[in-house]
Amino acid sequence: MVEAMVRFENVGMRYGAGPEVLRDVTFVLEAGSFTFLTGLSGAGKTTLLKLISVAEPPSRGLVTLFGHDLATAKRSALPALRRRIGVVFQDFRLLDHLSAFDNVALPLRIAGKHESEYARDVEELLVWVGLGDRMTSQPPTLSGGEQQRVAIARAVVAKPDLLIADEPTGNVDPDIGARLIRLFAELNRLGTTVLIATHDRTLVERTRAREMRLVDGRLVELRTPRP
């Protein structure tokens, strides 16, 4: 039986007293799967990713991550679960006082690794995303697209069990976007479960992957890859 990395059962989410942003959302992300989450702006994609990354608790329903029910998991167990997830945020969340190299290396440093263990991997990854000549640059000196590529490199450098990305190709040109998708596909081939939120139909159609579509907070369509 294939392991479920993420399981949602009748999940609802609202902020304060406002209307529900997500309504009765049910799905499973199996280990090793590659999935696109699609929908118009405001459909609830970013909120769904926040629930998976343990940034927010759901208002109702069951969210299970790596076999742990998040509603009953001990608070002390949550950091270890988060470390198994690589997240590409829309707002990048880079540290302005660190270089591109140091931003990418940060998850490995937090994990207790020495620079001699990871320096080559970080450098090769920055070259792969087209930033080989910007390794020592700090985020304020980088363009939005360059910052996004640093954020993506940081999210994948530790080879997470689960990668979730919110519009990861939104600020880059098509060639770089295609390169980034190849990076995600290679990571997936090596065993990482990948979930990408996007509104780019071209990206979805040219990549043979499952699609989950949100419309007004409801998961209304599932597409599985053609054999």
Domain-terminating residue out of 113, 135, 159: 159
What would the DSSP string read from start to end of 43-78?
SSHHHHHHHHTTSS--SEEEEEETTEETTTS-GGGH
Structural domain of residue 124, as residue ranges? Answer: 94-159
Which range, 73-82, 97-106, 161-170, is most confident?
Answer: 97-106
pLDDT digits (tens, 9 = 90+) for 11-41: 999 998 889 999 999 999 999 999 999 998 8
pLDDT digits (tens, 9 = 90+) for 154-192: 999 999 999 999 988 887 888 888 888 888 998 999 999
CB 173 within 8 A of CB 145: yes
> What CATH number is given to the structural domain containing 72?
3.40.50.300
152 and 164 belong to one structural domain = no
Residue 42 — very low, low, confident or very high, per pLDDT cuts 50/70/90? Answer: confident
Average pLDDT of every residue of the chain: 90
Q: How many domains does the chain have?
A: 2
